[in-house]
Amino acid sequence: MVPVSYWVILAMGVSPDIAIRIAFGTSLLVILPTAISGTMAHSKKKAVRWKTASIWGSCALVGALLGALLAARLPGRVLEAGFGGLVLAVALWMGLGIVPRLAKQTGQPRGGPGLAAACGFPVGMVTGLTGLGGGVLNVPLLVLVLNFPMHTAVGTSVAAIILASLGGIVGYIVTGLGVPDVPPYSIGYINLPIWLCLVATSIPLAQLGARAAHALPAKQLRYILVAFMVYAGLRMIGAF
């Protein structure tokens, strides 16, 4: 979502420094309703540990707010390279097949509020600095550090993302107010027309993705996703 938004905003003639921040901020606003909807679905299946999600998410909110404030002061090229590097790291992680092995983690959850807070804050910082929801970091940490079952980790992660995205949204709105040369109909670093387009297209694309997920073998589907992530990551870091 972020790379495509960024390239579209650049094509509108917006400077790269502003375009990358609008891509991050707008992405987080798209993530918010998706996370709310996902949390409701996971909650119905009793897959959300609300105490952990509240502590984790609250600390992630603070981290995301600080991350967004920091992003407003970093050069756009640094933000692009940081985002691209993270995407490449996740692509490598998925390509090596580490994700499926996480599902084997079993046992009783461990750790108290302090451990949840210690994990949530840095994940929130990453959210604020990259415009990503943080699920790719939340789930492994919940499984490996707090020993959550996979389905509970996913549900709890989605619930925590609600608060993390809120922190980032506030940060990108506040830091973008009064900035010249942002596209029309922007609130800070959040552009409403782009947000509406992303929300409108995410529903049919999600349906298409679901059909593809059932039509293609899991390994082939993973390789397609990894290939796109490598392309996006390399382009964001300026490899081509």
Tens-digit pLDDT profile for residues 13-52:
999 999 999 999 999 999 898 889 889 888 888 889 999 9
Residue type present at position 177: L
Task: Mark the ranges of the chain whose per-residue pLDDT is less than 50.
Answer: 100, 103-104
> Beta strand pairing status for 190-191 and 186-187?
antiparallel
The DSSP secondary-structure symbol of 132 reads: -
User: Residue 229 is encoded by which pair of tokens?
Assistant: 């992530």
Range of the domain at 66: 2-195+202-236
Q: Distance between CA 131 and CA 105 in Å, rounded?
A: 29
The DSSP secondary-structure symbol of 183 reads: P
pLDDT in the model for residue 230? 86
Q: How many domains does the chain have?
A: 1
Residues paired with 186 in a beta bridge: 191
pLDDT in the model for residue 205? 65
Token look-up 């608060």 returns 163
pLDDT in the model for residue 186? 94
pLDDT in the model for residue 170? 97
Residue type present at position 9: I
Residues paired with 187 in a beta bridge: 190
Residues 6+ apart with CB under 8 A from 162: 32, 35, 36, 39, 57
pLDDT in the model for residue 69? 96
Q: Taking each helix axis from N to C terminus, what angle separates 76-95 and 2-11, rounded to the nearest 10 degrees?
A: 140
CA distance from start to end of the chain: 19
Token look-up 């949530």 returns 120
pLDDT in the model for residue 210? 53
pTM of the complete model = 0.85
